[in-house]
Amino acid sequence: MGVTGRLSGLLSRNKRTVPARPAPGAAFAEALGLHVRLGQREVLAGIDLTARAGEVLALVGPNGVGKSTLLAALAADLPAASGEIRIDGRPVGDWSAPELALRRSVLPQSAALSFPFPVEDVVRMGRAPWAGTPLADADEEAVAAAMAATEVTYFAARPFSALSGGERARVALARVLAQRAPLLLLDEPTAALDLRHQELVLRICRERAAAGDAVVVVLHDLGLAAAYADRAAVLHDGRMAAAGPPAEVFEDALLSRVYRQPVEVLPHPHTGAPLVVPVRGTEHSVIRNGPSGLTSP
């Protein structure tokens, strides 16, 4: 029996009920007054955030402000020091791990496997939570569709360990897509990808949202966030600096302050979506931390 068969066997011992699909616009994942500590440091402070069925929510902000921590908390992979995380209308602590696996799928920043599993087996691991449910019959179709969507079908037999970084990232995303949970939590899914596949990944996010899923994606590329996200949450020093449609929250002063880099926000000449352009030249300085916060010299 292969690894996916063993995982399925473990999960199928207890028959589980297939969760109902969320209603369009329903709050499917919520952070309520969330505080998260890592060691002695408070990484997130007082975060209120809602991911709704049918939308793409982008988490943006500079390095180290808590984007990945917030995503991990939403996934119930990190405990809250205070506040609450709710998924599908219930506190995450009320769900068992198998029940959570039917409701949310998680793509971490990097994917590593200790054994040289073939690509198709890695993708098939995403179907393990559905063992013992009526939807297990859709395994083959779900795996094939996820591999086609991420353009990894042609190297399905290759060992995962032999892939490039970008290929591994696409296989890891295919595993998440094959899981077909109604909440997708994606941590920097475009970081290792070329221009074509960055666009491909965000188009997939839009397709999943159009199908009724709630999608939360950590992005560094503000252009991608502006083009594809329904809402963007801008984090700064562990707090929410702004949240709303990108056209409303991506504005010069806010982004210049948060990123400590002067920027201009211009409308795309064809779509009108915000384009965030760094201000360059010797007459402009990087905004630096002053004694009382962010100041420009």
Position 12 confidence tier, pLDDT thresholds 50, 70, 90 = very low
Torsion of CA 114, 118, 120, 121, to 10 degrees: -50
pLDDT of residue 237 exceeding 90, the answer is: yes
**pTM for the predicted model, two decimal places:** 0.90
Percent of the chain, pLDDT > 90? 83
Going by C-alpha positions, the residue among 89, 60, 93, 90 that lies closest to residue 76 is: 93
Pairing mode, strands 183-187 and 104-107: parallel
CB 214 within 8 A of CB 186: no
Considering the chain, what is the average pLDDT of its residues?
91
Question: What's the confidence (pLDDT) of residue 156?
Answer: 97
**Amino acid in position 206:** R
> In angstroms, what CA-CA distances link 131 with 4, 19, 22?
10, 14, 21
pLDDT of residue 9 exceeding 60, the answer is: no
Question: What's the confidence (pLDDT) of residue 114?
Answer: 73
Domains of the chain: 3-16+24-250 (3.40.50.300), 252-297 (no CATH)
Residues 182, 188, 191, 195: is their CA dihedral positive or negative? positive
pLDDT of residue 13 exceeding 70, the answer is: no
pLDDT of residue 11 exceeding 80, the answer is: no
Position 115 confidence tier, pLDDT thresholds 50, 70, 90 = confident
Instruction: Determine the average pLDDT of the residues in 233-245.
Output: 97
pLDDT of residue 123 exceeding 60, the answer is: yes
- In whole angstroms, what separates CA 100 from the centre of its chain? 16
Within 8 A by CB and 6+ apart from 98, the residues are 11, 14, 16, 129
CB 231 within 8 A of CB 244: yes
pLDDT of residue 282 exceeding 80, the answer is: no
Question: What's the confidence (pLDDT) of residue 15?
Answer: 60
Q: Which two tokens stand for residue 2?
A: 């292969």
Position 111 confidence tier, pLDDT thresholds 50, 70, 90 = confident
**Amino acid in position 240:** M
